[in-house]
A and B are shown apart, each in its own frame.
Chain A
Amino acid sequence: MTSATRADTVGIVGAGTFGTALASVLARAGRRVIIWSRDVSVVEAIQATRRCPRLPAAVLPEPLEATVNPRRLASEARFLVLAVSSKDVRNRSRELGEVIDGSHIVVHAIGALAAPVARVAGDLRPAGAELVNERVSEVMLAGMPTLKVGVLAGPALPADLAEGNYSSMVVASRFDEVVAEARRLLNAPPALRVYGSKDLIGVELASALSGAYTVALGLADGLGMTTGPRAVLVTRAVAEASRLGAAAGAEAKTFAGLAGLGNLLVRASGDRSPDYLLGRRLADGIVTADGGRTEGARAAITGVELAKSLRIRMPVLQGLAAVLTGKVEPREAAQMVGDTVAVEE
């Protein structure tokens, strides 16, 4: 392995649908890719069939390789993409932290907040403690030695990537080097174009909140909302998310970009998103308030807490959170949101 190859190799952590789809796009564009999965059968299947069982539509041509050995991943690639579920991010960050050093660059592609953990003053507490909601990059920084972290987000569906359809994403980091390297290594036009941003907080929040608003749109569609009011809902969602983001230290414009509006439009366009489906079920009265929580639902409740602490009014998110916590009925919430929107703008 030459050093030049290491600089030009993309390491992907996780062989789920997104990680596999991204690997497929990059490998087809001639980029050297190495996937780390903990599942031996998945690694063997990739090596043997050039397909991943979790996304069989995606072809994984050579020189793509798969491994169960994280040390090999870290030694052969300096640029890594963390593509695991939000529930897995803490453990994977710690595992990865064992094998990487301060020179590695790690961007995550998790469009949600990290699964919450109960902790007090840095120590894990088993039960009864207040849950701490963190952005994924915060969890990464707590678990890894490198400070060079970033986020990759946007309306790129695994199916589109696998089929080579036109997709775009945005990478954000405080480090210019992270953005530049991500753009150099992940750009694979025409299938994938990667834009750059310095707004790490904004892209992470926009991506997570778009999940929350996807629930709201599922709910609205389930209640039979027509096209005009639906458009109002979308624009109000972007506006209030922008206000929250700006107060949290992000750039307002980020929420109207790929990670915010872009994500929302794609997630709420079909019936495959768990967040959207949760909204539909809520409208149908199928799901009780405490059941069926998705990442978007959790982002809604966390977002309301954040908005409260920053003194930002967020009628759409607050209405959704009220439904999710069983405080109001869906129709009542829709009425409240509509009324508030009408007087605010």
Chain B
Amino acid sequence: MTGLMTDARPVREAENRLEKFNNDRERLLAEVERRVMARRISEARTGGDASLEYVLNDVAYCEIRRLEAAGGNGVDRWRELSRRLLGMTDDDKREELRALVRYYGKDVVGNFDPRVYKFATGIGPSLLGFLFSPTASLRDAGTTLRNLDAHIHADGNLELARACAERGTIVVTPTHSSNMDSPVIGLGLLLAHLPPTTYGAGKNLFTNPFISFFMRNLGAYRVDRRLKFELYKDVLKEYSTVLLEHGYHSLFFPGGTRSRSNMVEKSLKLGLLGTTVTAYKNSVREGAPNKRIYIVPATINYRLVLEAETLIDDYLAETGKSRYIITDDEFSRVGRIVEFFRKILVHEGSVVVRFGRPLDVFGNDITDEGESIDRAGRIVDPASYVRGADGEVTDDDQRDAEYTRALGRRLSAAYPALTVLHSTHLVARALYDAIAANAGTRDIYRLIRAPLGHLEVPIDTVIEHLVRLRARLAENPSWGAEHPLYTDQSATQKVEDAVKGLSTYHTHPIVDRSGQSTLQVKDVKLLYYYQNRTAHIPPESSEQRS
């Protein structure tokens, strides 16, 4: 594509701005501290919930509760603060607040080690190659790893995303299925010749030493979801805002946590995504309205998901919301990570990272030149969204939150079309449709209790369902697409390929052959999990079935 913003030269690979991050780090932290302090002290003048006493008490109360529930280690420091609070002068409170803001800032802040980046993008792939091929020698690993892109496939609107990364700051917003998403999207960016991004990763992920090492040194900052008090959220959001203002490309998972059901996310939590509006507004205020921020929707599409068993159990137990952080799942076991590489990634194209057309922070589409356009296709000045009647930038948190919700609606509308369906998803859907027809219900709770006879499906029937599903998918690009490397597979090949994957990776086979001509569903829950990737595709009408 030509004419992408930088007319004079084709965009091959955007600059890696993270290389200067370590030099910037203290300055960024100081800026976070300055802003949070200024805001808190200003708000404290209104008293009530905004008073410094209340803010500090909120921190102490939340920390005491959290630490007591976890066994009590470290709780004394907060009890002591709680006791001192009533006798503190205003100056004392300000100093305590400053110390806390600095502490949480340092806890959050990331790192970027160019040596680790070079390793991860150079030698690292060789290591990964070895892991992909359990029978290979280390000497062979290099060869395998030069084919990294055969295992992880990155495609989509890459040139425009690269152009946006050169012109402004990009925020990659992928769907979230697995704890492997962070390293996988990192490799996806590399393969797409997009620059590395900084990203907020759950602190629980840092418990895995292998992943932790890379995350710590590749721009990840830590998000401790156990800390519920406003001051921590304030520091975290301000850090993200400052990073964006300073041009650091970022990555957020707008779904918040991993999709428990494996459905493509519809209702997004947005979280840090709101900092994009704030960062852009601040740039406009500083006289830099052309310092654009672009949101790049992306989907991460796995043939098989590492933690599928834990996730679907959690979803079906309807505890997904309360058990916000699952720590005792497959991800915390190093052996399972190795299995992931050897059994999941070994398959060619086993993960597809698909990047969509970027949006502006208000959810508007953009032209190839990076200009915002409204829904009628007119170029619109994005700075106008944050200006008042007199042309000055105005602060309005509710307005900005609404803009972020609008952006979230655009993202959730974009995801289905960017979904890449592997054989495992398509065949799981075909099988699910077939057993649902046998049992007369699509309700998962009834199907779990269905008699074995209902879970047996002739392969010919699966193929019939699959053929119709593929035809419907081809007619409706808004539902997503088949894996680009396997569109030529026949229905029979697709079934064989899927059964191979679904019967070998997880602890128990999801589906198995029963004789020559029948498939037996062994694990309805996991079948449901994989078919859920197609849940946005409506069931067939009776006319379509006939």
Overall SS of chain B's interface: loop
Name the contact of A175 in the complex, choosing from B364, B374, B381, B398 (C-beta under 8 A).
B398
Assess A103 versus B384: contact at CB under 8 Å? Given A7-B390, A177-B398.
Answer: yes
B376 touches A101 (CB 8 A): no
B389 touches A147 (CB 8 A): no
B389 touches A144 (CB 8 A): no
Residues of B that sit less than 8 Å from A by CB = 362, 364, 374-376, 378, 380-382, 384-391, 396, 398-399, 402-403, 405-406
Name the contact of B385 in the complex, choosing from A3, A7, A103, A142 (C-beta under 8 A).
A103
A78 touches B399 (CB 8 A): no
Q: Contact string, A252-266, partner B, CB cutoff 8 A, digits 1/0?
A: 000000000000000
B387 touches A143 (CB 8 A): no
Q: Contact string, A147-159, partner B, CB cutoff 8 A, digits 1/0?
A: 1100000000000
A168 CA to B355 CA, complexed, in Å? 50
Which residue from chain B places its CB closest to the CB of A7 in the assembled complex?
B389
Which residue from chain B places its CB closest to the CB of A6 in the assembled complex?
B389
B385 touches A4 (CB 8 A): no
A97 CA to B389 CA, complexed, in Å? 17
Which residue from chain B places its CB closest to the CB of A174 in the assembled complex?
B402
B391 touches A3 (CB 8 A): yes
A143 touches B375 (CB 8 A): yes
A144 touches B376 (CB 8 A): yes
A146 CA to B376 CA, complexed, in Å? 11
Assess A102 versus B362: contact at CB under 8 Å? Given A3-B390, A97-B378, A147-B403.
Answer: yes
Within 8 A of B (CB), among A95-137: 97-98, 101-103
Number of contact residues on A: which range applies? Answer: 20 to 34
A147 touches B376 (CB 8 A): no
Assess A177 versus B390: contact at CB under 8 Å? Given A98-B378, A101-B384, A102-B362.
Answer: no
Chain A residues lying within 8 Å of B375, measured Cβ to Cβ, are: 141-143
Which residue from chain B places its CB closest to the CB of A105 in the assembled complex?
B389
A180 CA to B406 CA, complexed, in Å? 20
A144 CA to B403 CA, complexed, in Å? 15
B376 touches A94 (CB 8 A): yes
Name the contact of B374 in the complex, choosing from A103, A145, A177 (C-beta under 8 A).
A145
Chain B residues lying within 8 Å of A78, measured Cβ to Cβ, are: 388-389
Which residue from chain A places its CB closest to the CB of B398 in the assembled complex?
A176
A101 touches B390 (CB 8 A): no
A102 touches B380 (CB 8 A): yes
Chain A residues lying within 8 Å of B386, measured Cβ to Cβ, are: 102
A98 CA to B406 CA, complexed, in Å? 21
Closest-CB distance, B33 to chain A (whole angstroms): 30
B382 touches A102 (CB 8 A): yes
Closest-CB distance, B316 to chain A (whole angstroms): 24
Q: List 29 contacting pairs A-B, 8 Å CB cutoff, sorted by A.
A: A4-B390, A6-B389, A7-B388, A7-B389, A7-B390, A78-B388, A97-B376, A98-B378, A101-B381, A101-B384, A102-B362, A102-B381, A102-B387, A103-B384, A103-B387, A103-B388, A103-B391, A142-B375, A142-B376, A145-B364, A145-B376, A145-B380, A145-B384, A146-B385, A147-B385, A174-B402, A174-B405, A175-B398, A177-B396
Chain B residues lying within 8 Å of A143, measured Cβ to Cβ, are: 375-376
Closest-CB distance, B272 to chain A (whole angstroms): 21
A152 CA to B405 CA, complexed, in Å? 23
Chain B residues lying within 8 Å of A94, measured Cβ to Cβ, are: 376
Within 8 A of B (CB), among A145-197: 145-148, 174-177
Most buried by B among A103, A142, A143, A144: A103
B388 touches A144 (CB 8 A): no
Taking A7-B389, A98-B378, A147-B385 as known contacts, 9 extra A-B pairs with beta carbons closer than 8 A to each other, sorted by chain A number, are A3-B390, A97-B374, A97-B378, A101-B384, A102-B387, A141-B375, A145-B378, A147-B406, A175-B402
A4 CA to B362 CA, complexed, in Å? 27
Chain B residues lying within 8 Å of A174, measured Cβ to Cβ, are: 402, 405
Most buried by A among B381, B384, B389: B389
Chain A residues lying within 8 Å of B396, measured Cβ to Cβ, are: 176-177
